[in-house]
Amino acid sequence: MGLDGQTPCGTIGVEILPEGDVEGLAVGEHVVLEAASGALLQALRLADCFFAIRSGRVQTFQVARKLPAASVVRYPPPFNLELEADRAAVLHRARQFVGLDVSTVGHYLQEDPTNEALLTELLITFCVTGMHWNWRVAEAHKAERHFKAAQGSRNPFVGGPRPISNVDELSGNDSPETAKTQMSSHALGCAILASHDPNCPFVNLDAACRTSEV
């Protein structure tokens, strides 16, 4: 079971990416993609694609253009991927999951496979750190977005999620349970070009699409 909140190894930082531009991210970086609707999808940057749980299984995909918002997760040492060997280890772990369904991933991570948003975060943090802790990445992203909007600050958020007395303040009437980070078929369809799944609702396969391979 993923540990909730701060982990024994510290807290994360979240850096909002200018103009939602995910180009140029390094291999092994954990990102949060946000649609205009506010829906979130956590993903992992691989060598030439992104990696996430979508439509019930682990897939790789391309992001076609800038998103309304996006952020990159900054893990504390020793999980900050300073060496090429660290990034190679992330790729090695990720490759083992591509194509697996949520039931198989949930069994491996000892987590409820019906909570796809949490399962996605645990899978990505496992690929990055080797441990499936819940760092509350979605809450940290929302907190930093809220802080930026309120303060107009340009400095990256460091030190983990800011204290939030009521998550409802950041997400309208949605509670943490209902504020899922899963993407709806409408949310990022215009931005994601390719998927392993030919029936994936996030893409228009009549448009120019290609399959990503890890």
Chain segment 149-181, per-residue pLDDT in tens: 887 645 554 544 433 323 233 333 333 333 333
Looking at 105-166, which runs of residues are DSSP E strands?
none
* pLDDT at 125 > cutoff 60: yes
CB 99 within 8 A of CB 113: no
For residues 21-39, average pLDDT? 93
CB 73 within 8 A of CB 60: no
For residues 117-135, average pLDDT? 93
Chain segment 61-70, per-residue pLDDT in tens: 999 888 999 9
180: nearest Cα among 129, 119, 90: 119
* pLDDT at 11 > cutoff 90: no
